[in-house]
Amino acid sequence: MTMPLEGITVVDLSRLAPGPYASMLLGDLGADVILVEAPAGSVSAMGGGGDDEAAQRRRAHNALARNKRSIVVNLKEEAGREVVHRLASSADVFLEGFRPGVVDRLGVGYEAIAETNPRIVYCSLSGYGQTGPYSQMVGHDINYISIGGALGMIGRPGQKPAIPYNVIADFAGGGLMSAFSILAALMARDRTGRGQYLDMSMSDNVLYLLASQTAGVLAGGPPPVPGARGLGGGSPHYDAYECADGKFLSLGSLEPHFWANLCEVVGRPDMQPHEFDASKHEEFKGHLERTFKTKTRDEWFAELRDIDLCVAPVLTLDEALEDEHQRARGMVVEVDDPRAGTVRQVGIGPKFSDTPGQVRTTAPTPGQHTEELLAGLGYEASDIASMREQGAVG
């Protein structure tokens, strides 16, 4: 079955989550992703190490490295850098996630790679971008969502910011936005015949994700704050409520007809005229808190799910993976691994009617395809043996 990105080759030098997630998205849709792994002892896209059963199961379950081939290359060796240039010469995309300046020092920066292949789409993914006062700072998701303005609006009034898992900067601002930009650059190349350089900053893209919120502030309004009314959890009809079993139910009944249905369901039709009357909200919130504690989360969901109410159970991740809707949508798939047997992984989010993506292979072991890829680049067996001996490849 044809996939959307068949025929696209990606050379991926990234190591930590955002870059591998970007190339996973491309690989899931059919791109040939070649992981350029560091020698043993260096940071690996696979994460962890070892060859025992537990290590092999961790590798097989690692969705970020699925649908990829792996070659181990030592970029500190001239022969290793030559291998990367050969890989890039016939590739469409080059992805790296090092601190600004590192790839230039290693001889595989954009200028060097573009000289080898002017049609390459070269994506550098970093925390703060290649330029600006913070470009050389180290960081993680918590820092990027801080600079990008997201962390300051998440949480409850009077409490310290609520730190979300690293979805916003690493995966949305980093991996997802990079994959989106790479595809846009490939479309541009179809028109111009030229590749180009993509400077992807996770802190930039956090702010970019807040386009709707920035509009109000740039127009002179106040910034969103933790627990703000509306979408910040400060309104009784847009919040999560504890149920009898200690689990939570989420409400998002913002529109007037959803609000009216909520008032009816909880026995307070008198509140219908007061959706925007903040002076009544604390009273109504107290009523909702007491009401939802009379039944379990799942009892409430079963009762309310077919009413126009905007309601959903707050699921833990293990519950989400077993949820009937997620399973029906193919969001958990089984994949055969040659060493670990059948493993389950997260499915593919985008659903294509004609050219769907596919989880074809589990994560490779580091260097699993070194021989295959080098032979495909024209290296003789004796050359490969020599490079292995000198530590240029593995």
Q: Are 376 and 9 in contact (CB under 8 A)?
A: no
What are the backbone dihedrals phi and psi of residue 38, each rounded to the nearest 5 degrees, phi first? -80, 160
Question: In angstroms, rounded to a whole number, what is the distance separating the alpha carbons of residues 355 and 74?
Answer: 37
Known catalytic residue: 61? no
Question: In angstroms, rounded to a whole number, what is the distance separating the alpha carbons of residues 377 and 11?
Answer: 13
* 12: CB partners within 8 A, 6+ apart: 19, 20, 23, 33, 34, 35, 36, 45, 68, 95
* 64: CB partners within 8 A, 6+ apart: 17, 20, 21, 24, 45, 363
Question: In angstroms, rounded to a whole number, what is the distance separating the alpha carbons of residues 223 and 180?
Answer: 28
Known catalytic residue: 277? no
Q: Are 168 and 209 in contact (CB under 8 A)?
A: yes
Could you give the angle at which helices 381-390 and 78-89 cross, rounded to 10 degrees?
130
Closest CA to 88 of 142, 29, 34, 130: 34
Task: Dig out the tokens for 91 from the structure.
Answer: 């590739």
Neighbours of 263 (CB within 10 A): 21
298-329 burial, b for 16+ CB within 10 Å, e for fewer? Answer: eebbeebeeeebbbbbebeeeeeeebeebeee
Question: Which among 170, 204, 239, 337 is annotated as catalytic?
Answer: 170
What separation, in Å, do the N-terminal and C-terminal C-alpha atoms of the chain show? 33
Query: Which residue's entry shows tokens 């050379």?
Result: 11
Question: Which among 140, 199, 298, 383 is annotated as catalytic?
Answer: 140
Q: Give DSSP secondary structure letters for 257-271.
A: HHHHHHHHHTT-GGG
Query: Which residue's entry shows tokens 């009523």?
Result: 287
* 229: CB partners within 8 A, 6+ apart: 235, 278, 281
Q: Are 146 and 140 in contact (CB under 8 A)?
A: no
Q: Which residues are catalytic?
A: 140, 170
